[in-house]
Amino acid sequence: MNKWMKKSLVILFSIATFGLVTPPASLAVEDKPSEDNLSKATFSNGEIDNALSAELQSLDDDQFSLTKEQFLTNFISEAEQKSFLKFGDKISVVIEDEFKQVIFPKMEEVITYYLNVEADEQFEQLAISKPSAGKGEKIFHIYNVETGQDVLRFHVRRENKPLEGYWFNFHYHTYHDSFQSHKDLGSIYWNKNTPPNWQSVH
C-alpha cells in the first residue's frame, strides 16, 4: 500500500473514531528518515561535539606526538639551520660546501648518538638554543627544557696560524666532564684575512 493511501486511511480512521481509537499497526506510516534528518536527530543539542571528543579520546595519544625518528629528523634539520644562521651570509658562502660534507655529518652523528642512547626516553624534552653573533664561539647548545641544563655544546673557534692564516675549528663539549674538554670535529680554512663577525650579511 502506498504511503499516501496509508496516511489517508489513518486520517479517515481518526475522524471516524474521533481520535479515541488508535489506528491499527498495519496502517502505521514507516517513513525512512533521510541521512540529514538522521544526522540532526542523532546529534542534536551539542551531541556532535561530545561524539567527536569521545572519538578523539579513544585514539592513542601516540598518534598525536612525533615518533623518535621524526623528532630526530626535525632536530637535525634545525641544527643545520642554526649553524648557517651562526655563520651569516658572508662566511656561509665560503665554507658551506665543506661544512656540509665534512663537519656537519660528525655533528649529526654526535646528536643522533645522544638522542638514541642517553636521552632515549626524554628526547622530547630537548631543544636547541640560538647561536651567538659577533666573535662568540657558540653555534648552538642542546639543553633540557625542563631543567634548563645544557647537555651538548657545539662551538666554532677562530684560529690564526702563523704563515697560514685563519681557520675555523669546530668542536663540541658534553656535560659528562662539565664541558671542560674539546672534542674535535674538524677545521675549515678561511684565508689570511680576518674573518667577518658571525651572522654578518652582505
The answer to whether residues 73 and 140 belong to one domain is yes
The answer to whether residues 123 and 152 belong to one domain is yes
- What local confidence, expressed as pLDDT, does residue 174 receive? 96
- What local confidence, expressed as pLDDT, does residue 62 receive? 47
Amino acid at 157: R
Report yes or no on 202 lying in a domain: no
Report yes or no on 195 lying in a domain: no
The last residue of one of the domains, among 15, 46, 62, is 62
- What local confidence, expressed as pLDDT, does residue 33 receive? 47
The answer to whether residues 156 and 100 belong to one domain is yes
Report yes or no on 7 lying in a domain: yes
The answer to whether residues 162 and 91 belong to one domain is yes
Owner of C-alpha cell 502506498: 2
Residue 47 phi/psi, 5-degree rounding, is -70, -20
- What local confidence, expressed as pLDDT, does residue 16 receive? 56
The answer to whether residues 27 and 87 belong to one domain is no
The last residue of one of the domains, among 47, 62, 77, is 62
Whether the CB-CB separation of 124 and 135 falls below 8 Å is answered with: no
The answer to whether residues 84 and 99 belong to one domain is yes
SS3 state of residue 200: coil
Q: Which burial class, exposed, middle or buried, applies to 147 when counting CB atoms under 10 A from its CB (0-12, 13-18, 19+)? A: exposed
Counting as low any pLDDT under 50, the low residues of the chain are 31-35, 37-44, 58-64
Range of the domain at 148: 69-189
CA angle centred on 78, ends 73 and 81, rounded to 5°: 130
H or E element, residue 84: helix 68-98
Considering the entire predicted model, what is its pTM? Answer: 0.68
| DSSP notation for 160-186 | EETTTEEEEEEEEEEGGGTT-S-EEEE
- What local confidence, expressed as pLDDT, does residue 66 receive? 73
Half-sphere exposure of 188 (CA within 13 A, CB side): 22
Whether the CB-CB separation of 105 and 169 falls below 8 Å is answered with: no
Domain count, the chain: 2
79: number of Cβ within 10 Å? 19
The answer to whether residues 120 and 91 belong to one domain is yes
Report yes or no on 147 lying in a domain: yes
Report yes or no on 196 lying in a domain: no
85: number of Cβ within 10 Å? 16
The answer to whether residues 140 and 170 belong to one domain is yes
Report yes or no on 107 lying in a domain: yes
